Chain A
């Protein structure tokens, strides 16, 4: 168990969709089909989020939306030519718009598989704890954010 929750193996989009109980997800979803599934699943998640008054449910719905966006971004950014392209991706921008509730999820991601989540964290928190000498090293940049979170007791 990590400080930020259970460490899970990297999941495929199909795995994420399989957890959405009302979405039928096949093993070999084509790209367009995946996006249609995501669109429908996010809409359902959004409706449930709006209706629910339980904090547990709302957190779960945000987590589910985050996982879908994150997987979509990972899939598309694998061959991105620049970090600029990666952070302009619509799914990345969607994560920014999830706001504060996405921060613990982003930190968990940085802990288990560091990636370019720094711009989204800065966009949400308006902070940047990365020192100049750490720039360019994903591991060091991730650790800088985890230290930042620890100092603020964000889990």
Chain B
């Protein structure tokens, strides 16, 4: 496994480890509530995963609120500080970590322990998809003369056109044969905050398959997805940007 540099001020605003599954037909969403019992001390906050509860629109000539009919598909359990959340759903399991992010092994090992618990409660039959997503929020000092001083993959405006950029949203899908995976890389900018421009580098690496739930390949695959994700991150930012994370 390659060694990756570790930053004291990593720009990761959220790390997400996601496993999609097929559950046996006898499992109902209420059963997933018991997932919290053994972890209640560490994950005391609980919420049902629901749709946005209402819709507003024109109905019979006036503005009306229409209650949503979508039912819950699972639960979210969070730590007291809300920095870690585990989602247990009918279609899978997700572990979320918000900033500050410590390191891969800490993140993966917590996810792995929670996944073992999910297997006990939900009895998934098959794993169908693995994904690792890191949302990086890089605060670039203003003024910016050229994005390429900070990021290596940038939108390019045709020569001869005005080169000023007020906003952009760029999405790349990059297949990667060695692990049978796909990276979805999204770049965009948010409104400036003081003299900084938040630049979002969102890297989502995915692999699909039909795996047994106790297959050691699941965690080997996550290690490989993480390497692929890091490859993308470290090759996407410049040394000047890396100085911001030291």
Interface residues of A (CB under 8 A from B): 1, 6, 8, 21, 32, 35-36, 38-39, 42-43, 45-46, 49-50, 53-56, 61-62, 65, 68-69, 72, 76, 89-91, 93-94, 97-100
Contact = CB atoms under 8 A, between A and B. Distances in A.
B169 interface: yes
A97 B53 CA distance: 6
A98 B169 contact: no
Contact of B193 (A1, A54, A72): A1
B120 interface: no
A88 B44 CA distance: 35
Given A21-B169, A90-B63, A54 B14 contact: yes
Interface string B168-203: 010000000000000000000001011000000000
Interface in B37-62: 47, 51-58
B57 A55 contact: no
Contacts, number: 83
A56 B52 contact: no
B194 A54 contact: no
A17 to B, nearest CB: 13
A36 B42 CA distance: 45
Nearest to B64: A90
26 contacts: A1-B193, A6-B191, A21-B169, A35-B58, A36-B57, A38-B56, A38-B57, A39-B57, A39-B58, A42-B57, A46-B51, A46-B55, A49-B51, A50-B52, A54-B16, A54-B96, A54-B133, A54-B135, A55-B14, A61-B52, A69-B56, A72-B56, A90-B63, A91-B56, A97-B65, A98-B54
